[in-house]
Amino acid sequence: MQRMKQNTTFAVVAFMSLTIAFVGCGAGSQAPPMTPVTQNVSIAGQYNLVLTSTNARGTTNIYTDFTQTGTTFTGAANTLVCPSNDLSQCKGGDTSVIAITPNGTVSGANVTILISFPSTVGADTVTMVGSATETSLAGTYTDSLGDSGTWTASTAIHPLGPPPGVYDYSGTFNSTSNPLLIAPTILIELGQDASSPVRSNVTGKATIMHSPCISSLTLSGQAIGDAFSLTDAASRASIIALPTLPTGNSFTFSYNFEPTAPSCAGDFGRGVVTINSSPFDY
């Protein structure tokens, strides 16, 4: 009886040992952990880009609104390219005159952007390569005219909020063709166009004081990065405004009335406005 108990105990121990050995062998054949999939960065939104030449050719500001599908993205057709952030040198902003449309690709955090635009010495094509960090981009560029340098890009500092939020701006302007002794005052109110599905479309109004030919404007147009392009169809007037970076709290703008405008015909000039409130103050 004692011998049978010993044999039974030995059989149980042997079976357990065999089971543990089998499990140990099986564990060694498990599939290796899966490599995590790299997520592509999102580039969609309003952007301000600054190109800085390393060949003493200064800076160039680019304002656009990117839309993205998968790994590709495209800028707005009314993209503004402004050497030295100078209004008089800007190209684009008006698709009826010239359309500048940057495009690019993303791969993980890596970004490539291509943009072509006219310059004083011929057409220029710029290739930017870099990477994304949170809401900013940075890298190096080369162009078809022999220039190269660094570039940065950041999302709009003052993006327009959804209706009924608006930004209020105030400032002064003066005519270049017929300068006044007292510069007229301008008050502008801008917000997203509630009737448009396009986020960058804006509407607003301007109240003007001390001008001999105009007292108000009804505005529509587009936000382009932190810049904006506006028109008043009835008054046949147009405005292009550029932010003063890096804060973007003030803007320089140029205005122009067509020769056939009902008031201020042919007048043009420059001005400065400052943001007084954000679209979320209402």
Mean pLDDT score, 48-64: 95
Residue 93: is its pLDDT beyond 80? no
Residue 207: is its pLDDT beyond 90? yes
Closest CA to 178 of 213, 230, 229: 213
As a whole number, the mean pLDDT across the chain is: 85
Any idea which fold 167-277 has? Porin (2.40.160)
Give the C-alpha separation, 166 to 219, whole Å. Answer: 13
pLDDT digit string (tens) for 94-118? 766 788 999 999 999 999 999 999 8
DSSP-based three-state secondary structure for 35: coil
Mean pLDDT score, 140-159: 94
Q: DSSP class of residue 160? A: P
Closest CA to 205 of 244, 175, 235: 235
User: What per-residue string of b and e applies to 86-122 under the rule 16 or more CB within 10 Å gives b?
Assistant: ebeebbbbbeeeeebbbebbbeeeebebebbbeeeee
CATH 2.40.128.120 fits 45-155, yes or no: yes
Structure confidence at residue 235 (pLDDT): 97
Domain ranges of the chain: 45-155, 167-277
Higher per-residue confidence, 163 vs 222: 222
Closest CA to 198 of 78, 48, 96, 100: 78
Residue 7: is its pLDDT beyond 50? no
The residue with tokens 């952030």 is 85
Give the C-alpha separation, 158 to 242, whole Å. Answer: 12
Higher per-residue confidence, 28 vs 181: 181
